[in-house]
Amino acid sequence: MAKFVFPKIWFFFFLLAIAHSSAQTQKLDSLKVLLETADDTTQVNVLRWMGKYSRSIDKQKALEYGLQSLDKSKEIGFIKGEIMALYDLGLTHGMTGSYAESLGYLRQCQELSSQENNHRYMKMVYNALGIVYKEIGNYTTSKEYYLKSIRLVDSLNLPYSISSSYSNLGILYDLMGEQDKAVESYKKALEVYKGQDREDLENNVLHNLAIIDKGNKNYESALSKYLKVVEFNLERNDKVVLAGAYLNIANCYIELKKWDQAESSLEKAMELAQQLSLRQLKPTIYLSKADLMLRQKHYKEALDFSRKNLALLDESGFQSKKEGHEMAYEIHEASGNLSQAVYHLNKTMAYKDSLLNETKVKEIQNLQIQHDIYLKDKEIKENELQLALLNTEMSSNNRRFVYLLIITILLLLSAVLFYFLYSDKKKSNEVFREKNELISKQNQTIEKINAELEKRMLRAQMNPHFIFNSLNSIQHLIINSTDKTDSLKYLTKFSKLLRSVLESSVNLNLLLREEIELLKIYLELESLRFDNAFSFNIVVDENLDVEEHEIPLLLVQPYVENAIVHGLMPKEGSKELTITFNNLEEYIECIVEDNGVGIYSGKTESEKSKGPSRGMSITARRIDALKRVTHEQLVTVKNYTDKDKTGTKVTILIPKKDFVQIDQVHIKKVV
């Protein structure tokens, strides 16, 4: 199974940000006091620093301070202040995932820095652009900007450090799978570093090199580097880094089959994780402990650690949950507990699918961002090209004419703009009212759509459950029946039923007539399966138009199955099942009634303790989804316990309108 690799630098930044949030609040309070008495230039810088300190607390406030710094710089003609404000706004948007906005501000900063020959900020903005393009998955463009930053400093022999550019280039090469180039870039970062605290950089580079070695399965080399990282951080007493390093050391020892050293390192990692309340790290340590015990064939201990791992995964992502269930699957398979192994294998595949869907969504979002950026770049380049052609073709006299024409047009546009602004101001209250109403309607629409999506999901789970039960019935009939003619009849009817289910699966609902036909085929199959041990009858109200109304696919079937298996089959003597569809004003009333022993009486103690079956559980959730639309009690169950009459009566109220109208809902975008 895939092994956990402790994150590089970002996880530690996250922890440090939480630890320093109170200190940042204190700094903000001090800066607010200073802002009241500072001169214009100082106000620009104070607002900029207030934006920086607000990033981890309130993104919107950080952007407001950045924009105030930018406006103040323009107001007083402070060009350097404009450059710094644009750069900080770009970083703030980038750190919070607003990559298109980040690129917009960074490019403005790049253009203004180039005009002012501000090489320091040109180098910084190239590096920042490289990071943003890396985050949206455009590795080629990211690499170009990192190299631009390096070439700028080298070509002009500027007194600025490019170590960070080489470090970022190393991370990029690692993501691109070019580990040799990544190692070369890390070494270059150390070579060109000119600042203080060189040991910190060496430690970070060593940590990243260890991760590369571990990913390439060079466990001895990775282990030697991790041990040096531990030695360095023991001197610094950096317990956060130590916790992750001990975990990675343990995983290396596991791969090298050095069990005692691995167990010792895991104990150290767990001790630090508990001291620092590192909730994200604890389940991963338990996972490695389970792996260690499994490899030594200590299945009981492995299972214990696996359970502790799974118990802490509620707030974790799909990847961690997949790895946790995958480990549990391997332990149960090795220990011969096949039923539990199958359960955890199914969980593993489910989380694998969820992880794949999550990755696809992120890829689509990144592609959309790149497309938006491409369109903006294209528009800018087209405008620049048109302007260049216009300037080339115009003579001096034509230029004067064009300038005059442009001024005239601008004046006209200004007049038109002022007119529209004046008109819009009068209409603003009405517009706001309409928008509020529209937003309210859209919220209601979204709630309906959420209910619809939940029903689609539950229906998608219902079909496999239904088919699986039918296949079990076929298996039972073939094994236990001496007359293979019944098996062939059963298979023929099942194929017809399966075809109907699959043909209907593209739709959320189907006509009532089609649902009744499916129920009839299903009852014939069950009758064959149980040697015609029961009789059934389907009654349809003559006032009920089966061609007009639609109901959710396979909504009634689980109740019929429950009546047969738990109500009729345990009974001796005559077994009768009646399904009635009645026409009510707002509902279709479906009654499933049997003369069996009663649903709860027909269940064994073990079945009762397990709760409802999967099919009934899914159906109950589908009914709950309908209840959120109708706000009515839709299912009632009555057990007959009299001496003269036994059995169960289940009444299902199916709304005629609400659940189909959801398909017709559309969202209108608010402008």
pLDDT tens digit sequence for 415-465: 888 787 777 777 777 766 777 777 777 666 755 655 554 545 444 444 565
Instruction: Identify which has the larger pLDDT, 401 or 484.
Output: 401
Element (H, E) at 191: helix 179-192
Kindly report the average pLDDT of the chain as a whole number: 80
Encoding tokens for residue 353? Answer: 């699918």
Encoding tokens for residue 214? Answer: 């571990």
Within 530-572, residue ranges assigned H as helices are 557-562
Burial class of 103 by CB neighbour count within 10 A (0 to 12, 13 to 18, 19+): buried
Whether the CB-CB separation of 364 and 39 falls below 8 Å is answered with: no
Q: Which of 605, 603, 604, 592 is nearest to 648 (CA)?
A: 592
Residue type, 472: N
pLDDT tens digit sequence for 12-46: 333 344 444 555 666 777 777 777 777 889 988 88
Q: What is the DSSP letter of 664?
A: G
Given the DSSP bridges, would you call strands 646-655 and 635-641 parallel, antiparallel or unpaired?
A: antiparallel
Count CA atoms within 13 Å of residue 369 on its CB side: 22
Three-state DSSP state, 543 = coil
Instruction: Give the Cα separation of 96 and 9 in Å (integer).
Output: 17
Which residues fall within 8 angstroms of residue 219, CB to CB, at 6 or more apart? 213, 252, 255, 256
pLDDT tens digit sequence for 199-227: 888 888 888 888 888 888 999 999 999 99
pLDDT score for 417: 83
Instruction: Give the Cα separation of 481 and 47 in Å (integer).
Output: 84
Instruction: Give the Cα separation of 265 and 590 in Å (integer).
Output: 63
pLDDT score for 641: 76
Instruction: Give the Cα separation of 125 and 129 in Å (integer).
Output: 6
Q: Is the pLDDT of residue 110 over 90?
A: yes
614-630 helix and 396-480 helix, angle to the nearest 10 degrees = 130
**Residue range 136-140: mean pLDDT, rounded:** 88
Q: What is the DSSP letter of 635?
A: E
Instruction: Give the Cα separation of 517 and 532 in Å (integer).
Output: 19
Encoding tokens for residue 161? Answer: 């450090």
Residue type, 361: V
Residue that is written with structure tokens 């989804």 in the block: 625
Q: Is the pLDDT of residue 292 over 60?
A: yes
Q: What is the DSSP letter of 544?
A: -
pLDDT score for 459: 46
**Number of neighbours of residue 207 by Cβ within 10 angstroms:** 23
pLDDT score for 302: 93
Round to the nearest angstrom and report the end-to-end CA distance of the chain.
49
- Tell how far CA 222 is from the center of its chain: 32
Encoding tokens for residue 456? Answer: 């689609």
How would residue 490 be classed by pLDDT, with cut points 50, 70 and 90?
low
Three-state DSSP state, 577 = strand
Residue type, 392: T
- Tell how far CA 648 is from the center of its chain: 44
Domain 450-662 has CATH 3.30.565.10: yes
Whether the CB-CB separation of 625 and 554 falls below 8 Å is answered with: no
Instruction: Give the Cα separation of 434 and 275 in Å (integer).
Output: 55
Choose the weakest-confidence range: 10-14, 21-25, 364-368, 514-518. Answer: 10-14
Three-state DSSP state, 569 = coil
**591 phi and psi angles, rounded to 5 deg:** -115, 120
Residue type, 307: R
Query: Taking the domains of the chain in order of start, what are their residue ranges?
Result: 450-662
pLDDT score for 540: 95
Whether the CB-CB separation of 245 and 268 falls below 8 Å is answered with: no
Mean pLDDT is highest, among 2-6, 25-29, 318-322, 453-457, for 318-322
Instruction: Give the Cα separation of 207 and 188 in Å (integer).
Output: 15
Residues 339-348, buried b or exposed e (16+ Cβ, 10 A)?
ebbeebbebb
Choose the weakest-confidence range: 69-78, 139-148, 385-394, 591-600. Answer: 385-394
Whether the CB-CB separation of 74 and 107 falls below 8 Å is answered with: no
**Number of neighbours of residue 62 by Cβ within 10 angstroms:** 24
Q: Is the pTM of this model over 0.85?
A: no
Whether the CB-CB separation of 88 and 48 falls below 8 Å is answered with: yes
198-215 helix and 179-192 helix, angle to the nearest 10 degrees = 170
